[in-house]
Chains A and B, each alone.
Chain A
């Protein structure tokens, strides 16, 4: 019997849906073993179709995208009810992803549209149909429904997708499983580390990196050391620092704090000691947009204390 599969997107760029193509010919094997019961990107189906299904009738559901609207939350709750196994697919569902950087503050619309920005006045009469309300914050999947497993990545790399289907279609899904390595990316990165110290912090466009050496050693903020392996270090191999899409290693905790602490340990200007602090601070100031860099995917999941702190600060200021 074919396994019943659902794939759904919430606040998503669509890349996750496309990522299945990365399996290449392997996709045909997968498709031959599943029955797609719900996959809006591929097959036309409406919410009502889903509602009509009996509970726990879908074997595997993959949700990609951040939860941004009330409708997103309702849909994943519905999917949870109808599914035996429900997993977060991709960085947005796993950690909040790039869209969750919107959680940085309420002033984001003003910041984007300038000081002239005003929300439109409400319609005089209630309209027939309105878009769903926004949730107060963009949320990762597991903050709304229990999640059984995670296929991480932005989008998930082919190897991990294959590994997931292999487990799922052989009945080997383990609760809480994350389809990536427990060891950090450095484990599979072919780059060579030499001197573990940073004397400058550079953004990718500011440097043509040495093809052999560790990017962190060259001053690029590579999240490899805090990020799960599993992608075969495809970005570092191509000269781009890891941005952390597979999520932090199991014991890293908040990946931004973990890497910040590592950066602060590695930065060195001359002889160790207090005399070097101003220069070392200046080097660390080279880290432009620390939230966007260090929390690129994980801000919804881990940035909450920071957001609480920012709110507290605003309150104090007010």
Chain B
């Protein structure tokens, strides 16, 4: 290849006063014009503006530039802008580099030192760009199908939106039915719609949608591949009932001799080993719970099959492993309540009449174990004094969870209000730290509970809850009056903290998605990329990402679905080419690199291979590679050394 003399252009941005107020931009441009390899240098008020870009493009053409350095803000802001401009002017975009003289210079330094550092940074990047090679982004196809994990309201909404946009969806749900926690709720704040009444139409829509395949009673076993091309292994547990034949007559459950606590009713009722979680379950079928059945191999009982007229029960059903290809994944695995067994001060969950919020939902629900009558678990009496304790396990960094669970203020107000409707002569107390009702019509709803329903709101934490005879005694403090409060209650409802549903971290690991400190799935950026994980092609919806109420979960699910649709609609995906690369002639296959990769992009046989699409260009493997066989495109050792030397040269001159 003939040696082409470098013709580098340097463009110094003022960024208004952001840079020019601290760095002497004219002097920088003047000095840059004398850097080795530089044939053109100028400065301009806003390089990112249209005239700024036009200036850049004109210079590239007129000066026949072979490389460009824009000394401006962080490359994470405008690198894309400038590279596009360079491309339009006929220069390979990867021959343009940004020297960050704002975040790393003008914003953090002052005086002449700032100009000197700007010079060093710019000089170093001028050296770097001379070592850059022109690159082309990698292209990959897209599998036009999405996977949604979790069949709660967020998963349902995401699946429907994606399917309605014309793409196939696989909806995986761990339990026998979709619906999630929303199916368990009585009524929803602040409008008091019946939860099931607004949820079940959506469930039915999912069930009969031609492009949605529900895999209930199934779990994601393994995920490999990358954006646009994920391969998912799904384990479908046997239900031992053919959903096509089951006519929901329920005879099987009647004859089943087993009775175990019913999960759907949070253990407040019993169910048989063959059961349907709730009448509107989707898929609409009974499920034989293998763990609680008297025995399948050898068959110990078999009464259910004997009474099944539809001949739907098949004891020989086996677990299935399904392999599916999808282009995008939505994680909507939802939440669970922080166990009340963890609450030492509230009786470790041993007091039967101390229940959590979801148990109270079941007591309130018309389809619940008490048919909507509020009867306490211990003796079935109607409680006349009920204490609701907010922030139970939340906002308690010393003992429990440090964060606010966000929805408890609202659902506690709803609980107290619904209780007062059901038991007009009952008294409800709410212990709270403060009320967080920041939603549309939320504050009004809480006010209604406080004022119209005469619910006694006591500002203070509850110190202790214990059983005394038939009563549950609540000791607390009213911090507004400074007095100690004792309530001899019939029932205590704990607004337990919201935690990620069990298995969230394990699933996250399979997908190489990060979890925050409290185990909630972590978004790529808390403000600007809240709907997606850092792993490309994985999106987040609902309470798995953090405590959320229904409208927020639905909104996020629709947002994530929109992102999925945008991804699946692209004819081809592009991936930045600035990634790690193996020089195979030098690689001994020692394999030290592979476990360093947080994206699983490296496989090793005789030599290491980097999957260009999976590689996010972090460079960890390059640092670990002992033999120097791994390099980072356009950030090679030689370039870094040139940059260091150049930067120190400027320092020696002492500008």
Q: Is the CB of A262 within 8 A of B624?
A: yes
Alpha-carbon distance A186/B605, docked complex (angstroms): 12
Partner of A187, one of B588, B596, B626, B637: B588
Specify which of B583, B586, B596 lies most central, judged by the most chain A CB atoms within 10 Å of its CB.
B586
Question: Does A224 sit within 8 A of B, measured CB to CB?
Answer: yes
Partner of B623, one of A249, A259, A265: A265
Q: Is the CB of B586 within 8 A of A183?
A: yes
Known: A185-B588, A186-B590. A251 touches B624 (CB 8 A): no
Alpha-carbon distance A225/B591, docked complex (angstroms): 9
Alpha-carbon distance A253/B595, docked complex (angstroms): 23
Closest to A255 in B: B626
Q: Is the CB of B592 within 8 A of A262?
A: yes
Q: Is the CB of B585 within 8 A of A183?
A: yes
Q: Is the CB of A183 within 8 A of B620?
A: no
Question: Does B587 sit within 8 A of A, measured CB to CB?
Answer: yes
Q: Is the CB of A225 within 8 A of B585?
A: no
On chain A, the residues within 8 Å of B631 by CB distance are 251
A249-268 interface mask toward B, CB cutoff 8 Å, 1 = contact, 0 = none? 11111010011011001100
Alpha-carbon distance A266/B625, docked complex (angstroms): 11
On chain A, the residues within 8 Å of B623 by CB distance are 261, 265
Q: Give A154 Cβ to nearest chain B Cβ, in Å.
A: 19
Known: A196-B594, A197-B595, A251-B583. A262 touches B625 (CB 8 A): yes
Count contacts on B: residues with CB < 8 A to the other chain. 22
Which residues of A, 173-216, contact B by the 8 Å Cβ criterion?
182-187, 193, 195-197
Alpha-carbon distance A309/B586, docked complex (angstroms): 31
What are 19 A-B pairs with beta-carbon distances under 8 A? A184-B626, A186-B588, A195-B595, A196-B594, A196-B595, A225-B588, A225-B626, A226-B626, A251-B583, A251-B631, A251-B637, A258-B627, A258-B628, A261-B624, A262-B624, A262-B626, A265-B592, A265-B596, A266-B592
Partner of A261, one of B583, B586, B626: B626
Alpha-carbon distance A252/B629, docked complex (angstroms): 8
A residues with a Cβ closer than 8 A to B are 182-187, 193, 195-197, 224-226, 229, 248-253, 255, 258-259, 261-262, 265-266
Q: Is the CB of A183 within 8 A of B594?
A: no
Known: A196-B595, A250-B628, A265-B620. A186 touches B586 (CB 8 A): no
Q: Is the CB of A184 within 8 A of B590?
A: yes
Closest to A224 in B: B590
Partner of B624, one of A193, A248, A265: A265
Known: A249-B628, A262-B625. A184 touches B588 (CB 8 A): yes
Identify 7 new A-B residue pairs, CB closer than 8 A, beyond the known A187-B588, A251-B637: A196-B591, A225-B590, A251-B627, A255-B626, A258-B627, A261-B624, A266-B592
Which residues of B, 584-607, contact A by the 8 Å Cβ criterion?
585-592, 594-596
On chain B, the residues within 8 Å of A193 by CB distance are 590-591
Alpha-carbon distance A252/B626, docked complex (angstroms): 6
Q: Give B610 Cβ to nearest chain A Cβ, in Å.
A: 16
Alpha-carbon distance A17/B631, docked complex (angstroms): 39
On chain A, the residues within 8 Å of B626 by CB distance are 184, 225-226, 252, 255, 258-259, 261-262
Closest to B630 in A: A251
On chain B, the residues within 8 Å of A250 by CB distance are 586, 628
Alpha-carbon distance A197/B595, docked complex (angstroms): 8
Alpha-carbon distance A229/B623, docked complex (angstroms): 21
Closest to A183 in B: B588
On chain B, the residues within 8 Å of A184 by CB distance are 586, 588, 590, 626-627, 629
Closest to A217 in B: B591
Alpha-carbon distance A143/B106, docked complex (angstroms): 44
Closest to A223 in B: B626
Known: A251-B627, A253-B637, A262-B624. A196 touches B586 (CB 8 A): no
On chain B, the residues within 8 Å of A249 by CB distance are 586, 588, 627-629
Alpha-carbon distance A162/B552, docked complex (angstroms): 75
Alpha-carbon distance A193/B608, docked complex (angstroms): 14
On chain B, the residues within 8 Å of A229 by CB distance are 588
On chain A, the residues within 8 Å of B627 by CB distance are 183-184, 225-226, 248-249, 251-252, 258
Alpha-carbon distance A229/B588, docked complex (angstroms): 9
Alpha-carbon distance A259/B628, docked complex (angstroms): 11
Q: Give A289 Cβ to nearest chain B Cβ, in Å.
A: 19
Alpha-carbon distance A195/B589, docked complex (angstroms): 14
Q: Give A247 Cβ to nearest chain B Cβ, in Å.
A: 12
On chain A, the residues within 8 Å of B590 by CB distance are 184, 186, 193, 224-225
Alpha-carbon distance A255/B595, docked complex (angstroms): 21
Closest to A229 in B: B588
Closest to A195 in B: B595
Alpha-carbon distance A225/B589, docked complex (angstroms): 9
On chain B, the residues within 8 Å of A186 by CB distance are 588-591
Q: Give A256 Cβ to nearest chain B Cβ, in Å.
A: 10
Closest to B595 in A: A196
Specify which of B586, B587, B594, B626 lies most central, judged by the most chain A CB atoms within 10 Å of its CB.
B626
On chain B, the residues within 8 Å of A259 by CB distance are 626
Alpha-carbon distance A183/B607, docked complex (angstroms): 10
Q: Give B635 Cβ to nearest chain A Cβ, in Å.
A: 14
Alpha-carbon distance A31/B624, docked complex (angstroms): 45
On chain A, the residues within 8 Å of B591 by CB distance are 186, 193, 196
Closest to A181 in B: B588
On chain B, the residues within 8 Å of A252 by CB distance are 626-628
Alpha-carbon distance A186/B594, docked complex (angstroms): 15
Alpha-carbon distance A184/B628, docked complex (angstroms): 10
Alpha-carbon distance A268/B586, docked complex (angstroms): 27
Q: Give B150 Cβ to nearest chain A Cβ, in Å.
A: 26
Q: Is the CB of A182 within 8 A of B592?
A: no
Closest to A265 in B: B624
On chain A, the residues within 8 Å of B629 by CB distance are 184, 249, 251
On chain A, the residues within 8 Å of B624 by CB distance are 261-262, 265-266
Alpha-carbon distance A193/B637, docked complex (angstroms): 28
Q: Give B517 Cβ to nearest chain A Cβ, in Å.
A: 11
Alpha-carbon distance A215/B629, docked complex (angstroms): 21
Q: Is the CB of B587 within 8 A of A183?
A: yes
